[in-house]
Amino acid sequence: MNLKGRSFLTLKDFTPEEIEYLITLAGELKAKKKKGILGSSLKGKNIALIFEKPSTRTRCAFTVGCVDEGAHPEYLGKDDIQLGHKESIEDTARVLGRMFDGIEFRGFRHETVEKLAQYSGVPVWNGLTDDYHPTQILADFLTLKEQFGHLKGLNFVYLGDGRNNMANSLMIGSAKVGINFTIIAPKELWPKQELVELCEGYAKEAGSTITVTDDIQAVEGADALYTDVWCSMGEEDLAAERIKLLQPYQINSALMAKTGKDSTIFMHCLPAVKGKEVTAEVFESEKSVVFDEAENRMHTIKAVMVATLGDYEEPDEA
């Protein structure tokens, strides 16, 4: 499958087959790394890593992914370049596109990463915006595949802030690949109706379902329960209000038991605020796969870079 030259901004832009391909490629790269086999598909490439928002997993995953495949990563923090301040995003994009072979962006406005992709002339990868977090979804799906052996037909439940970038992206990705997806959240924090309707269209094609509800009983039958912090970056002043609103949606042992399945796993994109969206007991339990997800950020991000910029033979399973 040829994704060469493509940007990776949102999973809306990718077919189910392309998403599955990236997950398969990530699995192959992961297996090779475990054997000590590194690649050279990005040899001689220079990668700009732009960070308006701080990061642990995204920064480390892109950096290690670049080095593993022979590229040079250059970290550009918000005080290192003039993106959108002294220089327009369009002009910065055109400068960086002359010097770098690929650009990662992690920040606030999704419009920024879209402009970088439009004007730079090189592949641009979304490391997180206020609207979407697509690289995290690939890591989550690789983790699900490792746990269950497949994606299609799984029952996946997200609890908490149902209109943040994680809920949006999980809904898009799940609908595309045929996962039955449920958001359980207070009505004030439901996703935009237009996005729900778009995902319902994807799900219909894939033979799966989308459910948005405020009833926690909807966890019944779930293969995975997922949550995220109750206050996203930039919303810290809403903390007290959010805690009161979302307390009933905390993932705890009693809620895990409500699924009725011993095989249900707990997932979180991290960082977590233990005692708020999830109890320490569940977070530290054998049902928790959060550090598998964290590691898989590296393998899936590497796969995105290799597929869109590198020279690599296709996986046998693709």
Bridging pattern class, strands 180-184 and 210-213: parallel
| 112 belongs to an annotated ligand binding site | no
For residue 72, indicate whether it is catalytic.
no
Catalytic residue among 68, 101, 110, 136: 136
For residue 98, indicate whether it is catalytic.
no
| 134 belongs to an annotated ligand binding site | yes
Catalytic residue among 6, 59, 242, 297: 297
**SS3 state of residue 295:** helix
- State the Cα–Cα distance between residues 57 and 54, nearest whole angstrom: 10
For residue 228, indicate whether it is catalytic.
yes
Catalytic residue among 110, 228, 231, 268: 228
**Which residues 6+ apart lie within 8 Å of 86 measured at CB?**
none
| 92 belongs to an annotated ligand binding site | no
| 163 belongs to an annotated ligand binding site | no
| 297 belongs to an annotated ligand binding site | yes
| 232 belongs to an annotated ligand binding site | yes
| 299 belongs to an annotated ligand binding site | no
Catalytic residue among 133, 242, 268, 299: 133
**Which residues 6+ apart lie within 8 Å of 6 measured at CB?**
13, 123, 307, 308
| 247 belongs to an annotated ligand binding site | no
Catalytic residue among 59, 242, 269, 299: 269
For residue 106, indicate whether it is catalytic.
yes
| 106 belongs to an annotated ligand binding site | yes
| 101 belongs to an annotated ligand binding site | no
| 94 belongs to an annotated ligand binding site | no
For residue 163, indicate whether it is catalytic.
no
- State the Cα–Cα distance between residues 235 and 53, nearest whole angstrom: 13
| 250 belongs to an annotated ligand binding site | no
**Which residues 6+ apart lie within 8 Å of 127 measured at CB?**
49, 51, 55, 58, 62, 104, 105, 106, 135
Bridging pattern class, strands 265-268 and 224-227: parallel
The pair phi, psi for residue 103, each rounded to 5°, is -135, 130
- Give the amino acid at 54: P
Catalytic residue among 106, 110, 268, 299: 106
| 228 belongs to an annotated ligand binding site | yes
Bind-site residues: 55-58, 82, 106, 133-136, 165, 228, 232-233, 269-270, 297
Bind-site residues for L-ornithine: 165, 228, 232-233
Bind-site residues for carbamoyl phosphate: 55-58, 82, 106, 133-136, 269-270, 297
Active site residues: 106, 133, 136, 228, 269, 297
